[in-house]
Structure 1
Amino acid sequence: MESRVFLPVLLLLITLGSNSTKAQKDNEVLVLGFNGDGAQRISTWAQYGRAVRAAGDYTLCLRFNIWVFRLLTAVIYLLDQTDIDLDPISFEVYFEKIRTKYGGLARFYPLPGNLATNKWYHYCHVRDMTRGEGRVYLDGQLIVRESYAFQRDPYVRNIIVGQDEFQMKYSLSGKLSQINMWNSILPEEQILSIANCESNLEGDLIAWSGKWQLYEIKEERVPLESLCRSVSRGLVTVKVPFLRYPKAVYMCRGLGGAVPTPKTLAELRKVKKVFEGDQGCIRQWAGVSDAKEEGKWLDPFTQTVIPWSDIYFRKNNPDGNIYQNCLLMDAEGLEDTDCKKHSCAACFTVAGRTWTLRGICEEEERMYYLDLVPSPLSFRGYGEYAVQQGAGGVWAWSNIITNTTMATLSQESIDLNYPVGRLTWNLQSAVCHQESGPRVLTLSACNTSQFTCSDGSCVDFAKRCDLKFDCDDKTDERYCDIINFPEDYRSKLPPRPASDSSLPIALDVTMDTLNIDTTTMLLSVSYNLRMTWFDNRLTFNNLKNLTRLNTVSLDQVAGLWRPHLGFINTDDIQNTAVDADAVTTVVKLDQTYAPDLSNPYEVEVYRGDTNPISSTRKYSTVYTCNFDLVLYPFDIQFCYMKLQILSASSEYLIFNSRDSSVEYLGPTLLVEYGVGRIDLRADNATQFAVARVRVELIRRYGYAMLNIYIPSLTLLVISYVTLFFRPSIFEVRVMTALTSLLVLATLFTQVSASLPKTSYFKMVDIWLLFCIVLIFLIILFHTVIDLHVDYVALPGQAKPGHAVTWAQTLTGSAGGVRALKVRSAEDGDGSGDEGRPDFFRRFLAKKDKFDLEFYIAASKITMLLIFAVFNLIYWGSLLRGSGLVYYL
């Protein structure tokens, strides 16, 4: 009974197992390995079992993994059976680009990023004759779409893989899989599905499962999904040799990794398993220390404090106090010990990271890059180079193709036999035109956005030369010269633009203070003058977005060409100066740069024709001004700062008026003037280009109004009021007017003394002269009025010997006596008209009264009319083109 039950169960298990094995095999794909040792061979290649013909539309897809990049890596070629050079269909790999040939059309295509070694990529290209398009996909993403009128392909083709016309230097070193070709256009969704290992669709023209003729090729079958897992994911372990804790940390940090600190017993056992069976590493470091502060366990790789609860301590540990600050891995947990002891360490670093060997001069970028090989520790190049330990444990940089040692690591400048970081090597072969001798090289795992410290650790490249230390060894602030001078650079010759036109120089004038002296006609200015120009002969290193960090050292400024300007409207003809007060910077306008891999100190090189140089200096200069004082004190003056290029004529150097500017930062209201518009104008038509900064100055007339116009108007009113005095007090009227005239003359003299002497009248002169003339006319009117007044004694006050023959009372508004005519008793009536009739005497009395009133009224009206007409003309003329209305 039991056997009856057991037999069917056994058969079922066998069936299920076979089905499982079959399913597993169905999910596996064939992978072909070409030249796994990196050597170049013409004997390693593959050919598809039959010829094909792709006359119309087609889709060609494959998966590739490069171990060593050649100058050109041959992948696949569909060649005409009769003439292999006749319009091939092919795919070739370069380090930074790929090349696709559709048959009659060949194109290079740049890639989103450089390719990496030991990493799978999926490639497809489509010839769409219906739409007249060629399309290229990388990892399922469309990177190229171009239009082309394809013709039908009449050729019968053989499929060759891994060789290009069997030229050894182009032979493939890597892996290939899933080479398929369809006699149709695959949808983008299908291409993406294949790229993501979601399907394993085979072609009808070329099928990967078809028959292939293989020559010196290694075959293996791997799970399909493994082809979609980048080798850069995950970690690899490097065994750090028997070292003290600081040295072990130093070495692991340079490798871009970290020494782990177990949190659990399972993690502890996993890490210790790295050195299982290694008798030379019976002790093993953990990755934390409390050497800086007792009781605070610091991770040196992340600079974070690890809580005690996250550290799997051995029972009764730590117990070493300040004498034991590092941790060793024991089978039962972590125990503290002296950091000066020697132990091994497991350094976990990212797999697939690209390493760079800087300081060598290569035309091909691929030659600078390497991969880390964890055990034994070495570095295999993307091209023909390798860095590995040779005889006697000496590290060597060598060409594995030509079997040539390029350089060996100098043992004199290091205390750790370790090639990572910025170190001195001894050249054995010519490198960068240097035949032999010491040369600095940098082997680093830092990416393009990072800077390599001398110990191999990485910091953000933005922290390079930012005026503060970020590397532990402080090397990020060394070799910070910005300018690269070519050998034929001449600091006396100005740059010449590529168009062979004149070099434009932009000016930026920032004025801090202004001071104007009207008497001497001088403008004193304190200002920052910045000159900006391009020098296409230069290149610049490591430019920052913050311009002040791009300051050029004085040593480099001394060898730099700079424009020389003269301040031509100064008394002593001053010039621009280059001294300790002058600051020269480079302005980063163009974000594009080229990494200079031949420089071991890691620089980003920026072009000189797209990033300008700027020189700034503070000046305090006195400029002469030609004032036009006709409208004083309501004048608007224009003062000029005239700057002339002295370095060369306008045939070579001109001002860039479009990018030039002027700015005033001081107060707009000065003591005498208000600052109006300020502009900068360039004149490049003269023999030497001239830039003029025009400063508009509007005089503040408050002082003149208070000290000239209002006092003079007051004196004028006082003089005019004397016309209303009684005609009988001639002395009072005249003395008042004369006093006003004298005060006004004194005021006139004072005003003239405070202004420059001019040959023309100023508006204030016209006003004061008008006031003087008007008072003079008032005095004349007083004289005329007095000639028409006869003085007689008031009633009861006639002198003895006189008799009042007649008296005519002139009644004023108050009814008082205005004038009396007095005659002598001996003379009769004193008028010589004794014999005249009474009516005639009455007529003469009336006539005297009429003349006196007429002249008094005429003087008042005339003076008022003259004053009104003059003011209308005077102030009306100031309403245009003057500063009278500026402050209203």
Structure 2
Amino acid sequence: MLPMVRFQESGPATTDSMLVYTGTLSQMAQATFCFRLRIQQSRSINTIFSYALPDDGDEIHLSVNYADQTLEFVCCDGHWEQEIKMQVNLRDWLNVCLAIDLAGLKWKLVRNGEVTEGSVNISSSSLIRIRPGGSLILGQDQDSVLGGFNEFESLSGRLVDVRLYDLLLTADQMISFTSCQDVRAENSPIVSLENAQEDFEVRNVSLLAIRNQDTCIRNRNFDLVFPELRDFDTAELLCGIVGGTLKIPTGPNDNWMLFNLSLPYAEACGDGYAETLWLGVKGDVVRQQWLSYEEKNPITWTKFDNANGLPIKSPDVCMAFIGSKKTVEEQYGLWVPSDCNLEMCPACHFDKVVIIRMRGLCRQSEFDRDYFLTHDQDSLSFTGVFYSEIVKNPPNGSIVDSDYGYWTLRRHDKPHVMAYLPMNSPIHYPTGLNTWQVTNDVCGKDRVTLMMTSCTDYTFSCSDGTCINLKQRCDMEADCPDGTDEVECKFLTIPKGYDSFNPPSRPDRSQPIKVYLFIKILSMRKVDLSNFQFTCELEIQLRWTDGRLKYHHLNYAETLNIVDEKDMPWIPMLEFLGDGDTTSSVTEQRKSLRVRRLSDPLPDNDENIFEDELFDGKKNSLIWLRKLTVTTSCQFDLEAFPFDTQSCSMSVLLSGITKEYVILVPDEKGVSFVGQRKLLEYRLVSEIMEKQDEGNYSGQAVRLVFQNMSNFYVTSTYIPTFVIVIIGYTVFFFPIWNFNERVMVGLTGLLVEATFFSQVSASIPHTAYLKLVDIWFVYCIVILFLVVVALVIIHWIQEESTVSKVRPVAQKGTPLLLETDVRAIRKSRAKRFNYGCRITFPLLTLIFFLGYGLGASLM
């Protein structure tokens, strides 16, 4: 058995509970401090050792800080101050050894068998030592010899097997101590609790004994009975709200311990039967198995009186526990199938001490914010981590008007600071959302709505105290039983003094605020060549940050983070311009302001009743989305029509604020096209974004390149008209004497070409300059005209050879020619001319094609 001292385990913090060492310490260059500690209720500083000299109240100060999770050590007139990170749990045994080497300025800490070590730099150049002749106290911090006590720096808990050595224990020795094994040192400790009555002056503490192995039990689970009648579902809900589960015994010893725990509540929890408690077991009528209510798995151990509780006859059958001696001994602790709608008391199981947080208190409130369930005062209560306590009281109309009693929240050390909660039913606990009547708290309010919740980090507390994942907050689906998670889902609340007409302040005065622009072209509705304009469907996205704002409970899916139109912050205003800075026509289809989550939330603020995550406006972006129909001008150049490529520019300009303060920059590549690139006549080839400021205003321009899909004109215009030219050309292969048929074909082709030209000209834009298609028609008409002219010439040559009589023709040195010979000569000349046309016209066409193609490629 080990000596154990109990310090201030109940009641307010005091300065008169301590052990005062009656001996004295010698000078020490090395020291090892070992102790076993179980904190009952934390103080600001939980002091273990305090050694003071007349000129130094902290010659040795060794304490545990629960709030900071540290071991704090100070010595040697303040030359050495050390804070060592260490996990500290309330009502859990903490076995610690700290060895300090003042010469080497090294330390070694062993906590529950885990070793940590380090060194320290000090400003003093002389050797430091723990000086002799002071006063040593356990459980209180002294600021002067046997004085200067502060109740907030005292100890509430159990201190076991305290040892102080004037040497360095080895790591193995310290591990043995903190693992509850024998410690074999060359020397005995200079201070210990072996003879506490002789070596210490005992002041308001209890001296007891405890088994060595009991201080090394790592299992922190425990059970509590809530002595109010509830049906099964309400019992299971209560256990979950306070951070536990309905108890399921796992073996005979566990079952017997539950039976002994239930005996004091047998009268309050009975319902005319021997069954008093609900267990966390429910029957599955389909599978004919008993399942754990939480995990839905078959249980591995039961205690039925017969037949393992089978058959299960109803889906509403739950498991009750006989926790009363008002039955035969053979039935003690038996499990009995019972109707789930019956009322019994819940037995809740806890794997560890569960911290229940109180949210909604102002920052300066004198009440504790963290509590845990205890049964220290023969009744269930909520004990504050530091100084407060919540206890249940019977009805008292002079204090609180309630037929069922009331809960009192009070500080032990400041009894005038109180809060009251009237009970609205016999089973009303202060968990969840409740309105308290407060007196004398520094917050200054007499009615305060507070939330008591066992929900851990990244969870949300519903108003009844149940917990859901924080990601389910404001996701447009009610997950809390009362829908609390979808209440007050404003993602943005405009703070006081916010000016929505001015942009955010520049973090660096020399750098303007950047507004990122991204344009998604959804479709090209129309390219209107006649009116020199085009119409497109756009989705404009602007992205920027505003450090003046804070956002609430953002989702990763930004479509859920839509800002209410009533809470609009500063939004950049845009102006759309076409070629030549002409004004565009803009029709807005829809708009929305969203918030894009890019960072983790800020630290939780428990002054807020609910766990609404708060996000910094500097790290999360506002997204302004607008769907627009824009009609803008474009200076089309149609000289190469229908083999033309058009380049159109649509400018987006920031209006109302100069580029000294805000600039537009592309977001990634700035523009994308997601629609059908093939239009009626043109195909969108490319789209790029380029900087295009207008005076002192920042802007970006989207340049669109369209390419004429000329295949249509080739098949519907060029090929038919060229076929007509070929037909006209074929007349040179007709008999040259058949002038009527030849000239009719040529004239018909010429008329058809003229008709084609008229029809095509009516369907394409009219320009004062010739287009390629016009040149083509001019060529076709001219070539056919030349064909007709050539036919007439051929006919004239041939007809001149026909005469009515024979006349001799004399030429000097030549014989006389008869008229028949002249006809033959004329006919021969007509044939040669006709043959020359067969060759000349294709050559002219070839030369035209070469020139036409070269001109088209250069345009």
Give the alignment's TM-score, normalised by structure 2.
0.79
Aligned: 1:525 with 2:525: no
Shift of 1:446: 1.7
Counterpart residue identity of residue 541, structure 1: H
Letter in structure 2 aligned against 1:687: N
Q: How far is the alpha carbon of 1:379 from its aligned partner?
A: 1.3
Retained in 2: the 8 A contact 1:524–1:621? Answer: yes
Indicate if the aligned counterparts of 1:126 and 1:136 stay in contact, CA closer than 8 A.
yes
| Aligned counterparts of 1:192 and 1:648: Cα–Cα separation in 2 | 69
CA contact (8 A) 1:77 1:90 kept: yes
SS of structure 2 residue aligned to 1:711? helix
**Whole-angstrom CA distance in 2 between matches of 1:265 and 1:510:** 70
Measure the CA separation in 2 of the matches of 1:128 and 1:636. Answer: 85
Within the alignment, does 1:157 sit opposite 2:116 as a pair? Answer: no
CA separation in 2, counterparts of 1:360 and 1:387?
15
**Aligned position for 1:768:** 777
Rounded to whole Å, the distance in 2 between the matches of 1:133 and 1:718 is 110
Q: Which segment is superposed worse, 337-346 or 453-462?
A: 337-346
Deviations 1:616-649 (A, max 9, x none): 3433333333323233222233344433334633
Give matches, 1:603-752, under 5 Å: 603-646=612-655, 648-659=657-668, 661-683=670-692, 686-752=695-761
1:863 equivalent in structure 2: 841
Pairs within 5 Å for 1:293-692: 302=294, 304=296, 312=304, 328-330=320-322, 331=327, 332=331, 333=334, 342-362=343-363, 367-374=368-375, 375-390=378-393, 392=395, 393-411=405-423, 416-430=427-441, 433-437=443-447, 439-500=448-509, 501-519=511-529, 520-552=531-563, 554=564, 557-569=566-578, 573-574=585-586, 581-646=590-655, 648-659=657-668, 661-683=670-692, 686-692=695-701
Matched position secondary structure for 1:670: coil
Secondary structure at the counterpart of residue 417 of structure 2: strand
Give the aligned CA root-mean-square deviation in angstroms.
Answer: 4.7
Q: Tell me, yes or no, if the aligned pair for 2:651 and 2:692 is still in contact at 8 Å.
A: no
Provide closer, same or farther for how the CA distance between residues 261 and 535 of structure 1 changes in structure 2, counting only shifts above 3 A.
same
* Superposed displacement of residue 549, structure 1: 3.4
In structure 2, do the counterparts of structure 1 residues 203 and 632 end up closer, same or farther at CA, with 3 Å as the change threshold? farther
**Which whole-Å deviations, capped at 9, do the CAs of 1:323-366 have from their partners, x for residues lacking one?**
99666544545556676765434333343111111111226999
What are the superposed Cα offsets for residues 253-283 of structure 1, whole Å, 9 maximum, x if unpaired? 3223344467998876654432325433444
* Alpha carbons 1:314, 1:335 under 8 Å: kept: no
- Whether contact under 8 Å (2:38, 2:94) holds in the other structure is yes
- The one-letter amino acid paired with 1:171 is S
Q: What one-letter code is carried by the residue in structure 2 that aligns with 1:400?
A: H
Residue 65 of structure 2 is aligned to residue 93 of structure 1: yes
Amino acid at match of 2:522: D
Conservation of the 8 A alpha-carbon contact between 1:252 and 1:258: yes
Separation in 2 of the partners of 1:71 and 1:602?
A: 26
CA shift, 1:378, in A, is 1.1
Does structure 2 retain, via aligned residues, the 8 Å contact 1:719–1:736?
Answer: yes
User: Residue by residue, what CA displacement relative to the aligned partner does 1:146-173 show, whole Å, maximum 9, x if unpaired?
Assistant: 8858866623325766426245133344
Structure 2 residue aligned with 1:825: 805
Q: Is the 8 A contact 2:521 2:673 kept in 1?
A: yes
Compute the displacement of 1:395 (Å): 0.7
Tell me the distance in 1 between the aligned counterparts of 2:847 and 2:116.
86
Once the two structures are superposed, residues 513-571 of structure 1 have per-residue CA deviations (whole angstroms, 9 ceiling, x without a partner) of 3222333344333343333222222222222333333334x36x534433333434496
State whether residues 76 and 92 of structure 1, in contact with CA within 8 Å, keep that contact through their aligned partners in structure 2: no
The letter of the residue matching 1:348 is: H
Q: Does structure 1 retain, via aligned residues, the 8 Å contact 2:52–2:142?
A: no
- Distance in 2 of aligned mates of 1:693 and 1:243: 69
Alignment-derived partner of residue 19 in structure 1: none
Structure 2 Cα separation of the partners of residues 194 and 851 of structure 1: 134
Kindly provide the CA deviation profile for residues 765-791 of structure 1, in whole angstroms up to 9, marking residues without a partner as x.
33333333333444454455555x243
Cα distance in 1 for partners of 2:166, 2:412 equals: 39
Q: Are the equivalent residues in 2 in contact too, given 1:80–1:155 (CA < 8 A)?
A: no
Give the fraction of aligned pairs with identical amino acids, expressed as a percent: 22
8 Å contact kept, 1:356–1:443:
yes
Correspondence 1:7-22 to 2 at 5 A: none
The one-letter amino acid of 1:44's match is M
- Matched with 1:276 is 263
Q: 1:663 to 1:221 in 2, by over 3 A?
A: farther
Q: TM-score, normalised by structure 1?
A: 0.77
Residue number among 205, 217, 220 corresponding to 1:229 in the alignment: 217
Q: Which secondary structure state, in structure 1, belongs to the residue aligned with residue 725 of structure 2? A: helix
| CA 721–586 in structure 1, closer or farther in 2 if over 3 Å, else same | same
Say if 2:634 and 2:649, in contact at 8 Å, map to a contact too: yes
- The answer to which of 196-205 and 507-516 deviates more is 196-205
Structure 1 distance, partners of 2:744, 2:647, is 45
Give, in angstroms, the shift of residue 844 of structure 1.
9.0
Q: Which amino acid aligns with 2:416?
A: T
For residues 179-236 of structure 1, give each alpha carbon's deviation from its aligned partner in whole angstroms, at most 9, with x where no partner exists: 667866966x8776665556747698976648975663555554444444346x2122
Residue 54, structure 1, aligned to residue 37, structure 2? no
1:39, CA displacement in angstroms? 0.5
Cα–Cα, structure 1 residues 35 and 72, in superposed 2: closer, same or farther, change >3 Å?
same
Where 1:532 maps in the other structure, the secondary structure is: strand
CA contact (8 A) 2:282 2:293 kept: no
Displacement of 1:706 in angstroms is 0.7
Tell me, what secondary structure is at the counterpart of 1:746? helix
Does 2:799 align with 1:791? yes
Cα contact 2:382–2:389 (8 A) shared by 1:
yes
The whole-number CA distance in structure 1 between the counterparts of 2:174 and 2:739 is 121
Counterpart in the other structure of 2:154: 171
| Distance in 2 between residues matched to 1:663 and 1:203, nearest whole Å | 80
1:441-483 deviations in Å (ceiling 9; x for gaps): 1111221133222222223323333332333333233333322
- Selected match of 2:814 from 819, 837, 849: 837
Quick check: 178-187 or 674-683, which moved more?
Answer: 178-187
Which of 282, 286, 290 pairs up with 2:278?
286
- For the 8 Å contact 2:46–2:64, the answer to whether it is kept is yes
Q: Measure, in 2, the Cα distance between the counterparts of 1:388 and 1:858.
A: 123
Q: Distance in 2 between matches of 1:286 and 1:641?
A: 73
For structure 1, which runs of at least 5 residues remain unmatched after alignment? 1-24, 793-820, 882-888
Alpha-carbon separation, structure 1, partners of 2:279 and 2:473: 28
Q: Would you say how many aligned residue pairs link Structure 1 and Structure 2? A: 807
Cα offset for 1:370? 1.4
> Are the counterparts in 2 of residues 75 and 91 from structure 1 also a CA contact under 8 Å?
yes
User: Which runs of 5 or more residues in structure 2 are unaligned?
Assistant: 396-404
Q: Distance in 1 between matches of 2:188 and 2:534?
A: 88
- Give 1:810's aligned residue: none
* 2:238 corresponding residue in structure 1: 251
Counterpart Cα distance in 2 of 1:488 and 1:761:
64
Deviations 1:406-435, CA, capped at 9 Å, x for gaps: 4211446x674311112222222346x452
**Structure 1's 152 and 40: CA in aligned 2 closer, same or farther, altered over 3 A?**
farther
Residue 264 of structure 1 contacts residue 312 of structure 1 at CA under 8 Å; is this kept in 2?
Answer: no
Q: Which amino acid aligns with 2:239?
A: C
Deviates more, 1:288-297 or 1:675-684: 288-297
- Give the residue type in structure 1 aligned to 2:802: V
